[in-house]
Structure 1
Amino acid sequence: MNDIVQAADDYILNLFKEELPTNFLYHNYTHSKRVLKSINEIIENSKLSKKESLVLRLSALLHDTGYIKCRDNHEEESARIAREFLESQEVEKDVIDEVEKCILATKFDKDPKNKLEEMIKDADASHFGKDYFEEASEFLRQELIAQNIKTYSPKEWRNENIRLLVEEHQFYSEYALKKWQPVKESNLAKLMKKRKKDRKKLKKEKLKAELKAKYKDASPERGIQTFYRVALRNHIKLSDIADTKANILLSVNAIIISLVLSNLLSKLDTNPFLIAPSAIFVVSSTISMILAVIATRPNVTRGEFTEEDVKNKSVNLTFFGNFHKMELSQYQWAIEELLKDRDYVYSSLTKDLYFLGKVLDRKYRILRWTYTIFVLGIIISIIAFAVSFSLAEQTVTVDNLVN
């Protein structure tokens, strides 16, 4: 009897090794051996004849061999393969018939008709009542994904397992009901606890998102803050652009003046006609430099305020020029008073925005005049140089004719 069981073990090992695709991560040799181990548990704790025990052990080993041919209705194929193998081993016909019936009984939607079918059916689904349930279940999920049958997310797979354990699966044999059913219920409780925890977390996140959206829509604070933030940032950027333009003009005009002085100054004695255009060029560049400096020149403020100024909300504490001479303790007190009153905060930001705008207006008006003078100076200087060179050539020509 043991020889035929070992022969069946060796047979399925070679069969699965040679013909079973590698993407069968659950229904493989390991699963068959796990079912054999479970059926041995039942046999050891049940009153069965040697013949019945043999039928169960052979059924456990051979019940999934049909997967080498197909997935759907693999039980029929497994029964056929089992019959061919057992006949080749000259096993008794009644044993083969019983093995065939037990294999067909492992269909998930089929109710067992006798105690042997109950036992093999329980052994095939014994992982539901084992500590390794989650591990075995994950292998089955990965098998379904690998074979493109259905892709379950971990959450979806957990819900499917809960549905399966609650609505479809049941143990039949006395041993399974006594030993495996409590573990199955414990596994089910763990799944339901995880689902409850996830639902609670999801509900909390959903409520948080709803409250956040409601608060965002109901309160104008965010829009007001965005307005001040964007407006102040734009003003500061424009101020930086103005300073950059002024620095460019300073650099360009400094270079122009240095070139004029170094190259033309020594030639004015011998070329007096260059004096006027050179003077126009230097004067326009000098005026442009002066205006560029004026545009970027900071204003001096008193840097002090009084308690009355703070109480009357007449001082803008967001501008450094109003507090740079004050002690830290006085400034901290003033800021605390400011933050107590939202209107005072917005009033200070409004003042800061307004006076930044005034400064920008002054800078850009001066820069406009600076660029205008610079461009006109260059144009007039070029015309003056052209006229001066023309008059100089005519003078030379007249002198040559007279001589």
Structure 2
Amino acid sequence: MSDLISKTENFATDLLVNKLDNNYLYHNLRHTQRVVKSSKELLQHYNLNEKESNAIILAAWLHDTGYTKGTQNHERASCEIAKEFLSQQDCSEKLINNVCALIMATERGHEPTTLSEEIMRDADSSHLGQSSYADTSEMLREELSLLGIAEMSPKAWRKANIKMFQTEHRFYTDYAKTNWQEGKDDNLNKLVKKLKKANKTRKKEELKVKLKNQSPERGIQTMYRVSMRNHLKLSDIADTKANILLSVNAIIISLLLTNLIPKLDNPSNDYLIYPTGIFVLFSIASMVMSVLATRPNVTSGEFDKKDVENKDVNLLFFGNFHKMKLQDYEWAIQELIKDQTYVYNTLTKDLYFLGVVLDKKYKLLRWTYTIFMVGIILSTIAFFVALKFYGPERIIELPT
């Protein structure tokens, strides 16, 4: 009989490894091995005869092979597979029927009538009392999702498990009640605690959202914050563009000064003077405009108490207070935060003048790119005209 159990183990292992869909994350070889292990643990406690014990072990190995044919009626499919395999091993009809009866005992809702069926039922659900239950349960939830059977959120899955623990499942054997029930109760308590914690967290989040929605100050602050951030990003973009153009023109002028301009003192290169001059002139103009676009404005950096009392000064811009004493500035800020209207007026002024600066930057930047583009076009045309009409009879390759 040990040879038959070994063959059954090899048969079930091969079937579940090579024929089972990879989406079965729970009902796979690991689950079958766990059921076999739990069955042996129960059989060590109960004094069943050899035939009954062997039938239970065979059923444990074969009880989920039906999943290789689909999820519907997998117990019956497992019975068919078991009958075909055991018949090939010349097993008696009584043993085959016993194995099939034990496989069908794992069907949901079935009430066992014999000790063997109770052992089979408890072995199949032994994971409910194990410390690895949380991971095993998550595997089952993912499996149901992948197979398109059920799509459940963690919260809904937790509720379904609590219901199953409390009303749908129980251990039948005395051994399982003594040794596994405590682990099952611990897992149930963990589920209940997680559900309470999730509900508490959800209520807090709902309250936060409600308070945020009821407070108009939140929306006003968000408006100012987003507007300021967008304006500062636009300012950074403008400075970056100006710096790029400044660097490009600096490189161009450096190349001209080192390679082309020193050769203009040769009479044979006189025809290049005007094109080079146009090129240099527009490059310098672009550089000047780039510097103007990025050059900071210097302000007085001072205010007096009258300005604060009349709310005429923007205390959030460093240019208005960088020369003031710390205690004077602290007093001014305290006056500012006392009056909410003053705060919003100050933010509005800060936003407005930032927009004015951006307008100046982008106008200068537009003119800078226009000058650079026109200069490139005109100088290129001038070089071609000079080479065509005023250059030497044979084309001299320009130095690089």
Match of 1:329 among 316, 327, 330: 327
Root-mean-square deviation (Å): 3.9
Q: 1:151 to 1:311 in 2, by over 3 A?
A: closer
SS in 1 for 2:171: coil
Superimposed CA distance per residue, residues 16-55 of structure 1 (whole angstroms, 9 cap, x where no aligned partner): 3443333322222222221110000100011212222111
Equivalent position of 1:158 in the other structure: 158
Task: Kindly report which structure 2 residues correspond to 1:170-181, keeping only aligned pairs within 5 A, or say none.
Answer: 170-181=170-181
Q: Do 2:314 and 2:349's aligned partners in 1 also have CA atoms closer than 8 Å?
A: no
**How far has the Cα of 1:168 moved from its partner?**
1.3
Within a 5 Å distance, the mapping from 1:223-372 to structure 2 comes to 305=304, 309=306, 313=310, 316=313, 318=315, 327-342=325-340, 345=343
With the length of structure 1 as denominator, give the TM-score of the two structures. Answer: 0.61
What is the CA distance between 1:301 and its match in structure 2? 8.7
- 1:137 partner letter: S
Counterparts of 1:3-402 in structure 2, within 5 Å, are 3-216=3-216, 222=220, 305=304, 309=306, 313=310, 316=313, 318=315, 327-342=325-340, 345=343
The one-letter code of the counterpart of 1:125 is: S
C-alpha change, 1:151 and 1:345, in structure 2 (3 Å) is: closer
Is the CA contact (8 Å cut-off) linking 1:317 and 1:335 kept in structure 2? no
Letter of the structure 1 residue corresponding to residue 57 of structure 2: R
For residues 133 and 61 of structure 1, what CA distance do their matches in structure 2 show? 21
Deviation at 1:74, TM superposition (A): 1.5
Deviation at 1:123, TM superposition (A): 0.6
Partners of 1:46 and 1:224 in 2: how far apart?
A: 70
1:146 maps to a residue whose letter is L
1:199 is paired with a residue of what secondary structure?
Answer: helix
CA 1:313–1:353: 2 relative to 1, 3 Å:
farther
The one-letter code sitting in structure 2 at the alignment partner of 1:183 is G
Deviations 1:102-123 (A, max 9, x none): 1111101211111111110111
Contact 2:112–2:118 (8 Å) recurs in 1: yes
Cα distance in 2, alignment partners of residues 326 and 17 from structure 1: 79
Q: Which amino acid aligns with 1:83?
A: K
Aligned-partner Cα distance in 1 for 2:93–2:301: 113
Amino acid at match of 2:29: Y
Partner-residue secondary structure (3-state), 2:110: coil
Per the alignment, do residues 211 and 80 of structure 1 end up closer, same or farther by CA in structure 2, a change over 3 Å counting?
same
Deviation at 1:179, TM superposition (A): 1.0
Q: CA deviation at 1:331?
A: 3.6
Deviation at 1:328, TM superposition (A): 4.1
Separation (CA, whole Å) in 2 of partners of 1:57 and 1:320: 82
- The alignment's TM-score, normalised by the length of structure 2, stands at 0.62
Distance in 2 (alpha carbons) for counterparts of 1:74 and 1:324: 80
* Greater Cα radius of gyration, structure 1 or 2: 1
In 2, are the aligned partners of 1:304 and 1:324 still within 8 Å (CA)?
no
Deviations 1:171-227 (A, max 9, x none): 1111111111111111111122112111111111110111111122xx699389859
Give the direction of change, closer, same or farther, for the CA distance of 1:81–1:215 in structure 2 (3 Å limit): same
Structure 1 alignment gaps of length 5 or more: 241-297, 361-403
Evaluate the alpha carbon distance shift between residue 44 and residue 332 of structure 1 in structure 2; reply closer, same or farther with a 3 A threshold: same
Q: Distance in 2 between matches of 1:136 and 1:54?
A: 27
Find the counterpart in structure 2 of residue 376 from structure 1. Answer: none
User: How many equivalent residue pairs?
Assistant: 294
Amino acid at match of 1:332: E
Asked whether the equivalents of residues 39 and 119 of structure 2 are also in contact (C-alpha less than 8 Å), the reply is yes
Taking the aligned partners of 2:155 and 2:223, their CA distance within structure 1 comes to 41
TM superposition shift of 1:135: 2.3
